[in-house]
Structure 1
Amino acid sequence: MSRSDLRETLVHLILGGDLAMTSAEAADKGGLSIEDSQRLWRALGFADTGDGIAYGQADVKAIEAVASAINDEVMDQRTVFRMTRALGTTMSRLADWQVTTLVDQIERDVQEGKAPTRLDAAIKLARTAGPGFEHLMVYAWRRHLAAATARMEALGAADEELLSTVMTVGFADLSRFTSLSNGLDDNSLGALVENFETRCSDIVTAHGGRVIKTLGDAVLFVSDDPVEGTRTAIDLVKQIAMRSELPNICVGLATGSVVSRLGDVYGPPVNLAARLSHVARSNRVLVDDRTAAAISEEFDTRALPPRPLRGFGNVSPITVTERRGFRSR
């Protein structure tokens, strides 16, 4: 089989069918105007293909789903396209993450003689592992959706409470990451970042928190409880510091009202946590006044001299240590 045939086979396996329609034809079959279908593609993160043949039956079904939601007034058009944009942004990142992860597997398969070429190895993975991981993806989405719904329900009945709530926000930042990364090759740098993000995510999740996003050399997380958020921060410092392959970290915590939008969080506590992490010494946790007041019965706190924090004026960061005889869970 030629390289072009292999590439077409891979695309067919991933998309579940052949591409035989233009965007106008797919829009017409799916029941949307060409303008709304183009808006759908843009919301999903796809470029306009003009009059080229680039769509198949799966695209028609996607258009039908959007058209049905709008026509049946299940959701208004604005909500439909906001939901679509959230899916597109999330799935784009997921796809990039999956492909870069699978590259290592594909290279090993070729080197070990399990497949003659990378394309052959990719086709084998798409045929054998693809269906199972597609089920796992939907399962994970449903579980996270159920958890997010439960969190919303717990916040309160008032509309203004649903997207704004009090949280403890943590910002864990690798020390001297720029100088370190300049001395690493691409593979080593990628392995370091993945190692850091994986370990942080495991620790945050184990303490009942949520990782909001990773930024390569930093992780933004939230906790519903200042005490548990502090335990998370201290555990991060302990466990990352134990690993010789990872640099030291600095953690900032701040508690206050946070707005949730599009899978991200915004508000003064987010910015303050980031500022505190930037002025913290290596393997130290700094918190704001509100967090310190909430954890005073379980942790030792000490105010440091005031210093200017951009956007907050002069602030006295508060360092946190475990009380003698107390161990974080």
Structure 2
Amino acid sequence: MAPERTPKKGKPRARTSSRKKSEARRPGEQLDDAILRSKPELSALEVAAETGITIDQTRRLWRALGFPEFVGEKAYTTADVEAVATLMGFVDAGAVDFDMAVNLTRGVGQTMARLADWEVSTLVHRVEELESGDEATGSRIGSALRLINEVNPPFEDLLIYAWRRHLAAAVGRIEAMGAKDEDLHTIDVTVGFADLVSFTALSNTLDREEIGDLVEVFESRCQDVVARYAGRIIKSLGDSVLFVTGGAEDGIAVAEGIINVIGRDAKMPDVRLGLASGPVIQRLGDIFGPPVNMAARLTQVARRNRLIVDQNTADLLPPAEWESRRLPARPVRGFGLVEPVAVRRR
């Protein structure tokens, strides 16, 4: 019996500590309640019992969503129980196995975490505007609650709409980009990498708001150009963007567009671009393979506001419309000596 009593002695202290912290954050709890629409009142063991899964499965799903584990704490809501029950419903039906369900959950967690940070950082500015204007409530919490009530319901509808549109587009891309019959994860694409020149040195001369504005302009302009040519941004890293297109000509059009809207803007840093073509593996919203690495390496040897491509990309261009010129061989990390190619329309 002693082993059971020892944890019980420790739990009240942990809850007391959590209660003191909650009291210190009580204004924030109003926002939590407004967003979650229910209060945490269940432990992980209770969630497992309610849904019929093991405690280890509960913890795997929670970690996959991107949250730390809560041992013995009342950290879960009835909505969490409903979400687990829904997920396990199509696992039990045989649509996917549990490991696949965890992977899907991880994708949702990573995507929603970034979207939530994006939404909050955007709305923070609106809260400041409300509190400094005629519609001030007397506290930031008041304005934040008002925004949540006005923005969240229609925004949730927008999320479902956008997810369906992107799901349809993703399914279409598998066929349009030539997914291999033996492996639907493998597609033939042109991979592009755009990199801002001397971003680290420049960021040391800017304040945090200026850096944020610079990154936002860079990413949004790149997104607009990539979308225009039916491409897709795979990920952005602040000073660089990785994108794919279905063909070499579209890839070059995107690269030239990025140079025009970034490199030709005197208020923006210069940019370098590299393109490489070939089969890549799709996993968890990312892509992997030699073309990805080659495109990234080519940006390191490209000149400012210039595009260079690999030989595979040059070979995909119609000779009657494009001319190519091999550049001097240079060492490229991971590939040895490589002859980049410069291309231009005839």
State the TM bucket, normalised to the shorter chain. over 0.9
Q: Which has the higher Rg, Structure 1 or Structure 2?
A: 2
RMSD: 1.7
For the pair 1:90 / 2:100, whether they are aligned, the reply is no
Residue in structure 2 matching 1:210, options 232, 239, 242: 232
TM-score for both structures, normalised by structure 1: 0.93
- Indicate conservation of the 8 Å contact 2:235/2:243, yes or no: yes
- Write the letter of the residue equivalent to 2:339: S
Query: Residues 221-300 of structure 1 correspond to what in structure 2 (within 5 A)?
Result: 221-295=243-317, 296-300=319-323
Counterpart of 1:147 in structure 2: which amino acid?
A: A
Other-structure match for 1:23: 44
How much does 1:9 deviate?
A: 2.4
> Do the aligned partners of residues 234 and 156 (structure 1) sit closer, same or farther apart at CA in structure 2, a change above 3 Å counting?
closer
In the comparison of the two structures, how many residue pairs are matched? 321
Greater shift, 129-138 or 147-156, is seen at 147-156
| 1:31 CA displacement | 2.5
Percent same amino acid among aligned pairs?
Answer: 44
Distance 2:223 2:122 in 1: 17
Q: Is the 8 A contact 1:241 1:248 kept in 2?
A: yes
Moved more, 76-85 or 181-190: 76-85
Task: Name the structure 1 match of 2:62.
Answer: 41
Alpha-carbon distance in 2 for matches of 1:158, 1:20: 49
The amino acid across from 1:173 in the alignment is: D
2:316 alignment partner, SS class: helix
Could you tell me which runs of 5 or more consecutive residues in structure 2 were left unpaired when the two chains were aligned. 1-22
> Secondary structure of the equivalent of 1:159?
coil
Contact 1:31 1:67 in 2 (8 A): no
Moved over 6 A (4+): none
The CA deviation at 1:246 is 1.1
**Secondary structure of the equivalent of 1:119?**
helix
Partners of 1:169 and 1:254 within 8 A in 2: yes
2:337 corresponding residue in structure 1: 314
- Cα drift, residue 261 of structure 1: 0.6
Which runs of no fewer than 5 residues in structure 1 stay unpaired? Answer: 324-329
Q: CA deviation at 1:68?
A: 1.4
Structure-2 separation of matches of 1:232 and 1:80? 35
Alignment partners' CA distance in 2, 1:156 and 1:100: 38
Q: Which amino acid letter does the alignment assign opposite residue 86 of structure 2?
A: A
| CA distance 1:153–1:16, change in 2 (3 Å) | farther
Residue identity matched to 1:268: P
**Amino acid of the residue matched to residue 104 of structure 1?**
H
Q: Is the 8 A contact 1:31 1:63 kept in 2?
A: no
Write the distance in 1 (CA, Å) between the matches of 2:214 and 2:163: 27
Q: Are the equivalent residues in 2 in contact too, given 1:181–1:189 (CA < 8 A)?
A: yes
Superposed CA deviations along residues 180-202 of structure 1, whole A, max 9, x for unmatched, are: 11101000001100110000000
Conservation of the 8 A alpha-carbon contact between 2:180 and 2:187: no
In the TM superposition, residue 3 of structure 1 has moved relative to its aligned partner by 8.4
Q: Does 1:139 pair with 2:161?
A: yes
State the match for 1:118 in structure 2: 140
1:76 to 92, 97, 107: 97
TM-superposed deviation, 1:4: 5.2
